[in-house]
Amino acid sequence: MSCVFASDLHLSAGSPEKVDLFDAFMRRSAQTAQALYLLGDVFEIWLGDDDQSAPNPGVIRAMRQFSNSGARLFVMCGNRDFLIGANFIKETGATLLPDWQIIDLVATPTLLTHGDLLCTKDVEYQAFRQYVRDPKNQADFLALPLPERRQVAAKMRSGTQASMLEKDDFIMDVEQSTVERVMAEHGVAQLIHGHTHRPATHQFKSDGVQRERIVLGDWYGDACSIIVSTDDGLTRMSAAEFVANASA
């Protein structure tokens, strides 16, 4: 048995091939995984649990089928799907994780997070995040008719894309001092996150402790990378490889 980790799938009606891959990925995970961790941005955008536009119903159905298999499904909110609510959790059978979650991964305490809270150099984004995560602001937004929510989201996304073009790459990456502080505060030597779309494994020493930061890739391109954890360790592979590999 194994644990599988993925992040930043960004599923949308505009990428039906990725939705099909996700469906196959979930079926394969149900056959091999003890637990599946989706660490944020499963959807390109989530405007509320009442949004039944494609591909939401199919994705929810695939998650429910996975949960019905007896394996555990864990979902964390990202910066695109932070409006996931109680109805989504009920329909999928998932457990919603907080922004920081420690799990025991092959006898190694491991901190899980989406990753955006580590990008503290991006002060503008952190202020925006604090605003949209405020419960009152979320309630006000969700009270709007769905078409109006779509208009607001499209306008905000356009502004975000323009802002990103003006930012240096280092601003949108994690801040190393923040990583070291957070890992020390949680008492872990291993961290897994997504968000930055920069898959890699970073090893470093801080406070006399050898630490490791493992970054998940996104599903925008062809790689669609995931990480599989078994008793033999962590293996990075593509979702398509995982689906095709009977020994995964």
What backbone torsions phi and psi does residue 185 show, to the nearest 5 degrees? -60, -35
Query: 79-94, pLDDT tens digit by residue?
Result: 999 999 999 999 999 9
Distance between CA atoms of residues 148 and 77, nearest Å:
22
Domain range list for the chain: 2-244
- Report the CATH number of the 2-244 domain: 3.60.21.10
- Model pLDDT for residues 40-75, shown as the tens digit of each residue: 999 999 999 999 999 999 999 999 999 999 999 999
pLDDT of residue 157: 80
pLDDT in tens, 190-230: 999 999 999 999 999 999 999 999 999 999 998 999 999 99
pLDDT in tens, 103-153: 999 999 999 999 999 999 999 999 999 999 999 999 999 999 999 999 999
What is d(CA 54, CA 52) in angstroms, rounded to the nearest whole number? 7
Q: How far apart are CA 173 and CA 161, in angstroms?
A: 16
Q: Rounded to two decimals, what is the model's pTM?
A: 0.94
Residue 28 has pLDDT above 60, yes or no: yes
Q: What is the mean pLDDT of the chain?
A: 94
The pLDDT of residue 248: 45
- Cβ atoms of 103 and 181 closer than 8 Å: no
Encoded tokens for 96: 């919603």
